[in-house]
Every structure is written in structure tokens, then in C-alpha cells.
Chains A and B, each alone.
Chain A
Amino acid sequence: MNIRKFIDLRLIGIVGSCLLIMSQFSSWISGLTLINIYLITTSVSIEDSFLYLFPLISGIICFIGTFLVLYKLEYKLNSVIINFIGLGFFLIFIFKFIPKEVPYISNPEIGFYFAVIGALLILLDILNVLKLNNNLEEGSKN
């Protein structure tokens, strides 16, 4: 069964970026969402607080990137680069967040899983878009 016949696999990027955005508002550790952690950190050390907004920024950038390739397949390289920039924010967040929160990360909550699955879906979307043929869209229209 060819799954491509039934679903446009480019949608996984949209799903991934939505999961990343949703993760910002879901609980990560000890029932706290990243927004909660951001607000708490703002009052303690403002310089570190913006880090907790990175998944949201990443989700928004990746949404733009994946939407671009849905709008016009010819923009696939632009889409890949925009997605890469978006994922860069998420990777920086994970890179700084995980070592800092290692004691709590053994019991992560839904937000963490949303974010990781979202990032993996975006990565899969990048690979899928790169494998797509430029003529696909024209072909499907005819």
C-alpha cells in the first residue's frame, strides 16, 4: 500500500510544528509548562528566561517553513533552510535544558514528548521534501 496516495506526507511538517508550539503550553516537569517556567525564571534571572521560549519560536519558524513547501513545492530549498533555522532554536533549547534539568528529566511529562516527537517529525519532513520531485505538484494537477 502506497501511503502517499492517501496522505500528503508534507503535512507531517505542519503536525510537527504544531506539536512544538503545543509543547510550550503543556507541562514539562513537575506540572509546570514552559510558559510557567519562563515567568518564574524572568523574576530570578532574566538572561536565562528567554531560553524557555525557544520551542515556541522554533515551532513558529518551522510552521512557516513547512507551509512554504505546501504553498509551492518549488520553494523546497528555502523551506529546508527555514526549517533548519527553526530546529536550531529547539536544539539550543534542548542542549541547555537537558543537562540543567537532568534530575527531573527522568520523569518528563507530555510537553517534553510533544516537543521531541514534533522535532523528529520536522526532521522527517525535511528529508521527505528533499526526496520530492519538483514536477510532482505539476503532475498531480494534470
Chain B
Amino acid sequence: MLIGINGFSSFTELKKELNVSTGTIYHHLDTLSTLIKQKADKKYYLTELGIRAYDSIRNNMGSTSFDISKTDYNSFLLRGLMHLTPKRIIVPNKKPNLLVIISSIMILILGGIFCALNGLYPFFLLFGTIPEMPYAPLFNIVFFIFNFFVFFFIIKTICWIFYKKKGNTIEFLNTFAIIFIPSVMYLIIHYFFIVLNIIEFTFIGILDNIIMILFQVWSLWLLTYSITTYNRLKIENSLIISLLLHYGGFSIILMISI
């Protein structure tokens, strides 16, 4: 991968990056002799077959970077969540797409509008009310967009400080709005429950709560998937970041509502 990314690599660079003994590197270079070749300048290059292998790995990066056990992956829950993940959009090493950017802006505007209609304030992936706050729809919309950038900034900072992973900021930001899709969908459903005046019914009230929980799980999964894809973190570490931020956000909303 190192040679594929840089185009070539010296023996010293390989040793420094891989942090293994000289003998081990020679052994592996010998094993991979069909894929890697040393040229006259003493540097290591990919052979034609090596370039093909590298391209193939890079194209399938989205599926191979997830270290999930087969038993876990084949389960009903994860398979369901994987079906709900836009894997063709959340892909590493992909240039920002105009359609994705427009969709992201639409998600932000729609989220802001329905936040305003429900009279809710977002906090990361959660929503709450601020007591004694006058109703100001425009403020809700601005707050939603502000929340988006603050949430993004916090996640990037955590990845950078705790896991020393910079990742690709532009690609991550480009598709970051996707993780808000379930939240926006919940806001829309909740608003229609209120407009139709059926939220007071026992069944609808419980249904509203269940939808909220399930959509939060979906959001959290999309966030985890995005962090893993763009910041090259292990899925477990991405889940830790997502969960801690989620529960941290909940604690703050609870304190505000009291």
C-alpha cells in the first residue's frame, strides 16, 4: 500500500514505516517479488501485476477496511444496517461530487426547517427544547447548520488528538450531512404526528419514541461507518467516539431541559 500511494519507496522508508526488522522486510519483499521490483535507483516499485493488485484493493477499500467478524456481519441487525448505508457515496479517495454537495445542503436546510416547525433545537444527533426560549424559526435553522459544523469539528478533533488520525477532511465533510438523514426523517414524521394531532394517542406516542430510538441507531451507524471510512479508524474505536459523543450530548440536553 505504501509503495502504491507514493509510487515508489526506498528500503529505509519501508523500514521506518513498517517498524520491523531488516530480515523480515527482505523476506516479505522476496515473497512479493511478483508484485514489487527493485529498479536501478535502488528504490522499490510496483510491477504491472502489483499496480493491478493495488488498484483492486483501493477500489474495494470501503468493504475491506471494516474488520467485522463474519458471524457479526451475517447477523440480521448488521446486514440490515449495511443495507441502509449509502456505501457508494461514503467511499474513500473519491473526489467531492456536485450532486452529493447539493444533497448535503438540502439535508441541512430541510433539517433546519423541520427543527423550526417542531420548535426543537439540535444537539449533535439529538433534539431538545430550551425552556424560556422565545419561538424564533430562523434561529432554529441557523442553529441546525451551526450544530452540523460543531459536531464535525469535534469528531475531527477527537480523531486527531486521541487516535492521531487526520484522514481526509474534505471528503468527510462532503458526505457528513448524510448521517443527519435519519434525524431529518424523524423530524418530518414527528411533525406530521403533531399536525395530524395523533401524537396524544397511546400507540402513536410509543411509536414516535420507538422510531426516534431506531433512527438514532441508524444515524449512529452512519456516523461510525463514515469515521471508519474517512479517518481509517477501527470500527470499534469509531463506535466509541460515536457513543461517547451521543451520551455526552444527551447529558447536556438533559441538564438544559432541567
A residues engaging B (CB < 8 A)?
Answer: 46-50, 72, 74-78, 80-82, 84-85, 88-89, 91-92, 94-95, 98-99, 102, 123, 126-127, 130-131, 134
B206 at the interface (CB under 8 A from A): yes
Q: Is the CB of B201 within 8 A of A75?
A: no
B247 at the interface (CB under 8 A from A): yes
Query: Which chain A residues lie closer than 8 Å to B258 at the CB level?
Result: 98-99, 102
B residues engaging A (CB < 8 A)?
Answer: 68-72, 75, 77-78, 81, 128, 200-202, 205-206, 209, 212-214, 216-217, 220-221, 235-237, 239-240, 243, 247, 250, 253-254, 257-258
Instruction: A78 to B68: give the CA distance in the assembly, Å.
Output: 11
- Nearest-neighbour CB distance to chain B for A136, whole angstroms, equals 12
Residue on B nearest A93 in the bound complex, by CB: B209
With A74-B69, A102-B258 in contact, do A84 and B200 touch (Cβ < 8 Å)?
no
Q: Is the CB of A50 within 8 A of B206?
A: yes
Q: Is the CB of B257 within 8 A of A77?
A: no
15 cross-chain CB contacts under 8 A: A48-B205, A74-B70, A74-B71, A76-B236, A77-B68, A77-B239, A78-B72, A78-B77, A80-B239, A92-B212, A102-B258, A127-B240, A130-B237, A130-B240, A131-B236
Instruction: A92 to B214: give the CA distance in the assembly, Å.
Output: 12
- Nearest-neighbour CB distance to chain B for A132, whole angstroms, equals 9
Q: Is the CB of B217 within 8 A of A123?
A: no
Q: Is the CB of A50 within 8 A of B236?
A: no
- Nearest-neighbour CB distance to chain B for A37, whole angstroms, equals 16
Query: Which chain B residues lie closer than 8 Å to A134 at the CB level?
Result: 69
Q: Is the CB of B202 within 8 A of A46?
A: yes
Query: Which chain A residues lie closer than 8 Å to B212 at the CB level?
Result: 88, 92
Instruction: A98 to B258: give the CA distance in the assembly, Å.
Output: 7
Q: Is the CB of A85 within 8 A of B213?
A: yes
Query: Which chain A residues lie closer than 8 Å to B205 at the CB level?
Result: 47-48, 50
The binding surface of chain A is classed by DSSP as helix
Q: Is the CB of A78 within 8 A of B78?
A: yes
Interface centre among A72, A77, A85 (most CB of B within 10 A): A77
Q: Is the CB of A77 within 8 A of B72?
A: yes
Instruction: A48 to B217: give the CA distance in the assembly, Å.
Output: 24
Instruction: A126 to B242: give the CA distance in the assembly, Å.
Output: 12
Query: Which chain B residues lie closer than 8 Å to A91 at the CB level?
Result: 250
Beyond A74-B72, A78-B75, A81-B77, 5 additional pairs, beta carbon < 8 A: A91-B250, A92-B213, A98-B257, A99-B258, A130-B240
Residue on B nearest A68 in the bound complex, by CB: B75
Query: Which chain A residues lie closer than 8 Å to B72 at the CB level?
Result: 74-78
Q: Is the CB of B71 within 8 A of A88?
A: no
